[in-house]
């Protein structure tokens, strides 16, 4: 029996909803804390990272993101114990440790999504130029890959243990898919999706991904269809994990806490947003 068949019983049940406020641009965790990135710059304030206790969900403190202009995504690294925040106006990555010390480095392209791979390097998805850029924790550019020509408008990338890249891509009236790309970035090995639509094997702007480190199943934030879909490691459809009736707005970003089996889904409504926590 394949390892991922255990995911067939996965059903997302709501266990908590973090407070509503300004639009949420990222969510992750480190240790016993949840980090929630809010977009506040448009109102004249600095973008903030709200820090919550992972058990009680109580707000502990807030961290500011110096020099941030328009935050696009956030991820974390347990190895270096820091946060990485993509800025799509300055075209940079902000590195923020849990005590608030911050540095930044240029991406030289508009970043859409950000993740950390098994080597503790930062994977930045640049949707306009259709590239994946890999950086060290301190901003050294390690490599730059151009995605295949049929991968249009890539949003987010995660790298599997095999070295291949899982990329979600597409926009309105385009091909909307989740693709598995070869480790050299040249070939589309597998894909799930196609023409934009509402059916179970279709997407309407697949915006963000989360991977289950235990079995490498993949969670997909299907933003326009207002749901989260679960795929096998070979991109076969398993089930819908989060349905539209569990959300008030649009799911644009995900984070999976594998240890605690909690899936954090951002729930955006116009200029407001919250995070819904599901048990999986």
Residue 26: is its pLDDT beyond 70?
yes
HEC assignment per residue over the chain:
CCHHHHHHHCCCEEEEECCCEECEEEEEEECCEEEEEECCHHHCCCCEEEEEECCCCCEEEEEECCCCCCEEEEEEECCCCEEEEEECCCCEEEEEECCCCEEEEECCCCEEEEEECCCCCEEEEECCCCEEEEECCCCCEEEEEECCCCCCCEEEEEECCCCCEEEEECCCCCEEEEEEECCCCCCEEEEEEEECCCCCCCCCCEEEEEECCCCCCEEEEECCCCEEEEECCCCCEEEEEECHHHCCCECCCEEEECCCCEEEEEEEECCEEEEEEEEC
pLDDT number for residue 2: 42
Query: Percentage of the chain surpassing pLDDT 70?
Result: 94
Residue 41: is its pLDDT beyond 80?
no
pLDDT number for residue 4: 47
Confidence label for 45 from pLDDT (cuts 50, 70 and 90): low
Query: Percentage of the chain surpassing pLDDT 90?
Result: 84
pLDDT, tens digit, 9 for 90 and up, residues 198-237:
999 999 999 999 999 889 999 999 999 999 999 999 999 9
Mean pLDDT of 243-247: 95
- Supply the CATH classification number for the domain 3-279: 2.120.10.30
Mean pLDDT of 74-85: 96
Mean pLDDT of 28-47: 79
pLDDT, tens digit, 9 for 90 and up, residues 212-221:
988 999 999 9
């Amino acid at each position: 029996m394949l390892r991922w068949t255990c995911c067939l019983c996965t059903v997302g049940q709501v266990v908590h909803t973090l407070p509503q406020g300004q639009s949420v641009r990222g969510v992750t965790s480190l240790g016993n804390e949840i980090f929630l990135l809010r977009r506040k710059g448009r109102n004249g304030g600095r973008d903030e990272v709200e820090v919550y206790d992972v058990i009680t969900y109580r707000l502990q403190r807030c961290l500011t993101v110096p020099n941030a202009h328009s935050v696009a995504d956030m991820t974390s690294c347990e190895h270096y114990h820091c946060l990485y925040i993509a800025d799509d106006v300055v075209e940079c990555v902000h590195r923020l440790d849990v005590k608030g010390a911050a540095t930044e480095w240029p991406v030289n392209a508009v970043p859409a999504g950000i993740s950390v791979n098994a080597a503790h390097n930062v994977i930045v998805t640049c949707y306009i130029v259709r590239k994946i850029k890999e950086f060290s924790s301190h901003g050294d550019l390690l490599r730059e890959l151009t995605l295949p020509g049929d991968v249009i408008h890539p949003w987010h990338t995660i790298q599997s243990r095999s070295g291949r890249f899982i990329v979600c891509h597409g926009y309105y009236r385009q091909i909307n898919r989740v693709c598995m790309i070869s480790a050299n970035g040249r070939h589309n090995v597998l894909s799930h999706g196609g023409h934009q639509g509402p059916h179970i094997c279709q997407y309407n702007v697949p915006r963000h991904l989360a991977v289950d480190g235990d079995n490498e199943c993949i969670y997909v934030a299907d933003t326009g269809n207002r749901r989260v879909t679960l795929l096998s490691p070979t991109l076969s459809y398993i089930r819908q994990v989060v349905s539209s009736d569990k959300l008030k707005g649009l799911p644009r970003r995900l984070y999976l806490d594998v240890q605690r089996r909690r899936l954090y889904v951002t729930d955006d409504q116009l200029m407001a947003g919250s995070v819904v926590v599901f048990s999986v």
